[in-house]
Chains A and B, each alone.
Chain A
Amino acid sequence: MQFPLQSFIAVSAANPWTYVLFGVIGFAFGFTLEMSGFGNSAKLAAQFYFKEMTVLKVMFTAIVTAMVLLFGAVGLGILDFSQVWVNTTYIASGVLGGLIMGVGFIVGGFCPTTSLASASTGKIDGMMFMLGGFVGAFLFGETEQYFTQWYNNAGYLGRLTLDQVFHLPVGVVVLIIVLMALFMFWGSEQLERIIGKKDMSHEPKLRLVGAGALVAVALAVVFIGQPSLDSRYAKLTFTRTVNGEPVTYTADQMLENRLVFISPAEAFKAQYNQSMNPIYLDVRSEADYNLYHIQDAVNVPLDRLTEVVPTLLSEPPANSVFVVMSNDETAAVKAWKTLSASSVPNVYILEGGINNWIAFFGKDDPQFQPNLNAGDDQLRYTFTAALGAGYKSCSPSPIEYEKLTFAQKIVLQLKRDKSGGGCG
C-alpha cells in the first residue's frame, strides 16, 4: 500500500470519513498538548525566562520523532514524499509574520493551538486569547489587500527543503537536526538546574535510552537513503477506463500500449482546451531547440531535467499537462520516466517527436529539406537558418487547423489543491 492514502488527501463531503479522520487527528493533537501542560500559560511563558524549558522539549522531541519516522517511511518506500504537503517558502512574509507571532506569544502566553487546549479546560485567559485570535485573523483578512503583492511574491521560493538548501542528503540533515535537538535538551536541563533551581536527580534515566534510540533511527535513515527514481518508477500505477471499467496499468504498460503518446494534433489542440494548461517541455539539446521548436516550448535538456522537477511539482496550476518531446521519441521516453517517477502528474509524450510534428504541420514548407542521414532521435530535416519558433509550423494557425481528428489520450488527473495544505 502506498501512503498517503489518496482518499484522505483532502477533506470532502463526498467522503465523510475524511472529517472523522481529521477530527481524530485533531483530538489526539489537543489531548497531547493538554497532557503536556500546554494549556497553562504560566508554564509556556516560563520558557522565555529559562526557568522551565517544557515548550522547547516537547516541541523538538515531537519534531525529531516525527522526522525520523517520516523520512524512514519515505526511505523504505512506504510513503511518497512528493505527496506530503511541505510548507511553501515565502521569506519576507514568513520572517515578518514570525516576528509578529513572537510578540503575540510573549504578550499573550499562548500560541493558537495551545490556547485551544487551555480554553477547552476552562482557562479564561485561553478563551480570551482564542477570541483575540478571531479578531487578529479577521484583521489580516481585511488588510491583506493593501500589501497583497508583497505578501504573495516577496522572497517566494516555492517548495524548498533544507536538504536542497544545504546540498546534503536528506538523511544527513535529519541526523544533524537530531543531534542539534539532543544538544539543546542537554542545554535546557542545565538551564533548568541553574536558573529554574530544579532538582534534576529525579529525571528518568529512560530519557537517555530514548536519546540513544533516536540517534540509532536517524543513522538508519542515513543508511537506508531515499528511494531511487528506478524504485519509484517500478511502483507507479495509472488508471484508465476501458469499456467503462477501470483498468490499472504499470508505467511500462502505459508505454507499451502507447497510452501516454499524444499525436501532434492533440498536443496542438490542448492549447485551445479550456480545461487544461499545456506546458511543452523540449528535452533536446539547445542547438536543436534553436534550429526549430514549437511556439512556447521550454528547453530543458534531458540531463538537466531533474533540476526543474521541484518547480514542476509546486508551481504550475493543477490542470497543467506536460508534453515532453525530443526529435523522435527516445529522449522523450526517458524524460517521461524521470518525471513520472518524480510524481509529476499529467506527463505525456509527443508522438513521433518534433520530426512527426514537422511532418504533420510543416510538410509543405519549402524551407525544410529532408536529412537522409538522420539517425534515431535526430532531426530528419535540415534548416537554412536557426529560426527557433520562427517557422510557420511552430505555431500552426488555429483557423487553418480548426478541425482535427485524433484519438484522445490525455486523461486529466487533477492533483490536489496545494493551497489547501498547511495552515491554509
Chain B
Amino acid sequence: MTTATPAKPRGLFPKTPKPYVHPYFGGMVLGIVLFLALLLTGNGLGSSGATSRIDAAIVDAISPSHVDNNPYLLKMAGGDKNPLDDWIVPVFFGALLGGFTSGLFNGRLKFETTKGPNISVRTRWLVAFLGGVIFLYGARMARGCTSGQALTGGTTLSAGSWLIMFSIFGSAYALAYFVRKLWN
C-alpha cells in the first residue's frame, strides 16, 4: 500500500486540526472547572447574562434616558450602576479568550462556516443569526442559558434549572424533525 496517510498534526501551533478530546474527558474537566468556580466564588458558570449587560452598557452610553424609562435595564444600568461590574462579564471575555487559545493550540483557528451539507453558507448565517436572537430572548426570560441554568443550576440541584433543562432539550428534539434540512 502506497497511499499516503495524512500527516499527524504536530507542533505547538499545528496547521491541521487535532481531533477533539473524548467527550467524557472533556466533561470531567468541565465539571472540575465548574466545581472550582462554585468552591472559590459561590457562583457557577454562565454567559447569557453578560450579553444583556453588554447590551445595557451600549444603551446606557447612547441614551441614558432610555435606561431610566426601562425597568429591566434600570436594574443593571440605572443611576451610577455600571452594568459591566458583574462576575459574568469577565467570565464572558475569559471564555472568548479560552476558546481562541484552545483553537490556537489545536490547529482549529480558521475562518469557516460549520453547517449541514444541504444548505448554502448564506442560509447558514441567516439561521445562525436568527437562532441567536431566539435563544438569547429565551435565555433572558429563563434567567440563564444552558450554562447558567442547565449546567450550573443542574449541579446545585436547583428545581427550576432542571425544569429549564428538560424544556430546552424537549423543544429542540420536538422541532428537530421539522428543520432536518438545515443539518442533514
Contact = CB atoms under 8 A, between A and B. Distances in A.
A160 B38 contact: no
Given A87-B156, A99-B171, A121-B103, A133 B51 contact: yes
Given A101-B139, A125-B124, A151-B141, A41 B91 contact: no
- B36, B121, B171 interface centre (most CB from chain A within 10 Å): B171
Interface in B9-55: 20-24, 26-55
A303 B134 CA distance: 48
A210 B132 CA distance: 35
Interface string B133-171: 111111111111111111111111111111111111111
Contacts of A105: 131, 135, 146, 168, 172
B27 A62 contact: yes
Given A29-B33, A137-B52, A422 B144 contact: yes
Contact of A110 (B36, B50, B132, B159): B132
Interface of chain B, main secondary structure: helix
A112 B39 contact: no
A90 interface: yes
A332 to B, nearest CB: 30
A25 B91 CA distance: 6
Contacts of A115: 132
A354 interface: no
A225 to B, nearest CB: 15
A3 B51 contact: no
A61 B23 CA distance: 8
B159 to A, nearest CB: 4
A341 interface: no
B127 A112 contact: no
A69 B171 contact: no
Contacts of B76: 424
Contacts of A36: 20-21, 23, 26-27, 30
- A54, A121, A144, A164 interface centre (most CB from chain B within 10 Å): A121
Given A54-B23, A111-B135, A39 B99 contact: yes
Interface stretch (A78-86, A236-244, A390-398): A78-86
A404 interface: no
B100 A120 contact: yes
B176 interface: yes
Given A119-B96, A121-B109, A102 B129 contact: no
A53 B170 CA distance: 15
Nearest to A89: B160
Interface string A409-424: 0000000000111111
Given A113-B95, A424-B88, A86 B157 contact: yes
Nearest to B142: A97
A87 B40 contact: no
B183 A42 contact: yes
A118 B109 CA distance: 10
B110 A423 contact: no
Interface string B83-103: 001111111111111111111
A83 B20 contact: no
Contact of A87 (B36, B71, B143): B143
23 contacts: A21-B41, A25-B37, A26-B92, A26-B93, A26-B96, A27-B94, A32-B26, A42-B115, A48-B176, A61-B30, A66-B31, A69-B35, A100-B135, A102-B175, A136-B132, A141-B72, A162-B158, A210-B28, A422-B144, A423-B48, A424-B46, A424-B49, A424-B53
Interface of A: 3-5, 8-13, 18-37, 39-43, 45-46, 48-49, 53-54, 57-67, 69-70, 73, 78-79, 83-91, 93-126, 128-142, 144-145, 148, 151, 157, 159-165, 170, 173-174, 185, 204, 207, 210, 419-424
Given A66-B31, A113-B47, A136-B140, 6 more contacts: A34-B106, A58-B27, A61-B23, A107-B130, A118-B99, A132-B129
Interface of B: 20-24, 26-56, 59, 70-73, 75-76, 85-103, 106, 108-116, 121, 124-176, 179-180, 182-184
